[in-house]
Structure 1
Amino acid sequence: MEKAFKQILQNRRAINFFDQERDVPEALLREIVEEATHSPSSFNLQPWNIMVLREQEEKMRLRKLAMNQPKVSESPVTLILLADTRAWHKDNDSLNIVLNHKLDDGELTEDKKDWFFGVCERLYGKSRDSQLAFAVKNTAFFAMSLMYSATSRGLQTHPMDGFDHDGVKKEFNIPDQYWVPLLMSVGYHAKNAEILPVKQRKSYDELVVSFP
């Protein structure tokens, strides 16, 4: 098990060239996404959503807003990840899905609903910055799990931060409550494309810091 996970960690690469003749079946994508929902999430709020782009016309519209990166349109699937900054609000659809799950599982009772809403509001915080931070960090856990799940099934991914955030929101009619932390191309590596060597990573000693 330890060796298998280490291989997934090392095999997960940010791939630039995708096999344009090999699709990602819908059933496989669904499996990967649902597996990634087991990512850690504060109070299990899961404040994330995804948009799945498969149509070439949609991917080209996104590519124009993503520094014209070819992988956006050449991968069979490109995802727009969304972090919900209002998944604490009692009128939020995502929050009510979570609430109903807690009620169904017996984790919560009807008389505790106001307590639940209060906890969610305190977790998110009152400022826009704290609400954004909460939503994005939880969505980042989900995004990493997506990439590892895809890798474990022989797929490759490429997370992207190089895009016009406001332009993407406007082009795809994304509501104001969402922040777009990243885009992600998903597919199979192009057969004849080179995979570059693994880049050096910081060591334990280089990572650990203290502040006297």
Structure 2
Amino acid sequence: MEFHEVMKQRRSVNFFDPKKEVSEALLKEVIETAAMTPSGFNLQPWSLVALRKFGEKERLKKLAWNQPKVTEAPVVLIVLADRDAWKEGHPIVEQNFSEMVKSGAMKEEQRQWFADARTSLYGETPEKQQAFACKNTGFFAMSLMLAAKDLGLETHPMDGFDHDGVRKAFNIPDNFWIPLLLAVGYVGDDFKMAPPKWRRRAEDILVTFES
């Protein structure tokens, strides 16, 4: 599908066909396509918990305003933003720096500069750590939705849930924030897609501020 068509046809779908499964191979393709998303210093501070079992989804549904799509969708992703993924010694940081040295993008003697730059940009305050994690994970989440649509799947992002309840119910460590849940699946053959919602035009979005 052409990118313009993906953008035009993507919808946040409320009703999924629970009988149509999403294969592991297809979900992997969606995730690995979305993993090409850019991130600050390529730190990729995102992870996913994929729920398929009805019991797990039922537990999540009770913490997500009892939205039917949580149990109807064959897969629900808990999207995680790692507030520690800028820190020295973090596995992502170590692998990323190693890969940059290997490719020639950085030299080993730049390690301290890299650490100082990450700290300045992302680690000086809790607010910066939160912004770093959620901003970059938001890029990834949007890519997940577009990749899914391109591969014939429908999605619905949800931020209506008990954040602390979900963290506790699924043993999610404190360094992760949960920006959203994402239902993934198919609609039924008789499902009628809603028309596109109103969107602002370029002239409404572009602004200037007089001094």
User: The TM-score by the shorter chain falls in which range?
Assistant: over 0.9
Corresponding residue of 1:26: 24
SS in structure 1 at match of 2:77: strand
Alpha-carbon shift at residue 103 of structure 1 (Å): 3.0
Which runs of 5 or more residues in structure 1 are unaligned? Answer: none
Corresponding residue of 2:15: 17
Corresponding residue of 1:108: 106
User: Which deviates further from its counterpart, 106-115 or 9-18?
Assistant: 106-115
Alpha-carbon shift at residue 166 of structure 1 (Å): 1.1
Alpha-carbon shift at residue 130 of structure 1 (Å): 1.2
Corresponding residue of 1:149: 147
CA distance in 2: counterparts of 1:149 and 1:58, whole angstroms: 25
Corresponding residue of 2:197: 199
Which of 155, 168, 171 does residue 170 from structure 1 map onto? 168
**Over aligned residues, Cα RMSD in angstroms?**
1.4
CA distance in 2: counterparts of 1:184 and 1:39, whole angstroms: 17
Corresponding residue of 2:156: 158
Corresponding residue of 1:40: 38
Which runs of 5 or more residues in structure 2 are unaligned? Answer: none
CA distance in 2: counterparts of 1:98 and 1:210, whole angstroms: 38
SS in structure 1 at match of 2:84: coil
Corresponding residue of 1:50: 48
Corresponding residue of 1:60: 58
Which of 121, 124, 130 does residue 122 from structure 2 map onto? 124
User: Percent identical across equivalent pairs?
Assistant: 49
Given the two structures, how large is their TM-score scaled by the length of structure 2? 0.94
Corresponding residue of 2:89: 91
CA distance in 1: counterparts of 2:152 and 2:30, whole angstroms: 11
Alpha-carbon shift at residue 9 of structure 1 (Å): 0.2
1:138 lines up with 2:139 in the alignment: no
What is the count of residue pairs matched by the alignment? 210
CA distance in 2: counterparts of 1:47 and 1:108, whole angstroms: 20
Alpha-carbon shift at residue 193 of structure 1 (Å): 2.7
Alpha-carbon shift at residue 105 of structure 1 (Å): 2.3
Alpha-carbon shift at residue 94 of structure 1 (Å): 2.4
Given the two structures, how large is their TM-score scaled by the length of structure 1? 0.94
User: Which deviates further from its counterpart, 192-201 or 37-46?
Assistant: 192-201
Corresponding residue of 2:4: 6
1:28-60 Cα offsets, whole Å, 9 max, x none, are 111110111111211111111111111111111
CA distance in 1: counterparts of 2:99 and 2:72, whole angstroms: 38
SS in structure 1 at match of 2:141: helix
